Amino acid sequence: MATENKNLSDYDKSTIPDASKFRFGIVVSEWNNTITEGLYKGAYDTLIDNGVAATNIIRWDVPGSFELVYGCKKMQEQMVNAVIAIGSVIQGETKHFDFVCEGVTQGIKDLNVMRETPVIFCVLTDNTLQQGLERSGGVHGNKGTEAAIAAIKMAELRRNS
């Protein structure tokens, strides 16, 4: 496994653009909430750590990962500089996993291609609950942290383009 015994969420703060003037939307799936709450905490704490005021972070909850696409579309209308989509889909015994993962991935891709506000994909697609826990604040760091850094960088790209 490429991420074994590595925390991939460390970043050099000096390389991150000034985020103090940006507003961010975070859309969080309620499904597998132990994982999504960990991802949210990582994203929120990272935005705060990089100068974003708490009042400039808007959180909306949606029932599941499939609903992230609609939630993010509506969040793009809220005068935010970037949106972070947080979800967790865990492999089960049916094809439901495949359909949800493909739908969410394509939907978020479509929002990025067709609209101006970037949407950051922070949807874990794991085989087990343990893998999700390891990537939402565990041994492999926090993908929410990584998504927040990506959101700051994409907000800066949008501002400068």
pLDDT tens digits for 32-65? 999 999 999 999 999 999 999 999 999 999 999 9
Residue 65 token pair: 């990962």
The CATH class of the 33-160 domain is alpha beta
Helix (H, G, I), strand (E, B) or coil at 121: strand
pLDDT of residue 98: 83
- For residues 141 and 2, give the distance between their C-alpha atoms in angstroms, rounded to a whole number: 13
pLDDT digits (tens, 9 = 90+) for 100-156: 989 999 999 999 999 999 999 999 999 999 999 999 998 889 999 999 999 999 999
- Give 125's strand partners: 89
Q: Helix 143-160 to helix 33-49 angle, to the nearest 10 degrees? A: 50
Q: Output the six-digit token pair for 108.
A: 């978020």
CA distance 131 to 118: 27
pLDDT digit string (tens) for 72-115?
999 999 999 999 999 999 998 888 888 998 999 999 999 999 99
For the chain, domain boundaries: 33-160
Choosing from 6, 13, 21, 96, the catalytic residue is: 96
Q: Is 96 a catalytic residue?
A: yes
Residue 102 three-state SS: helix
pLDDT, residue 4, reads 56
71 Cβ contact partners less than 8 Å away, ≥ 6 residues apart? 27, 60, 62, 85
Distance separating alpha carbons of residues 136 and 134, to the nearest angstrom:
6
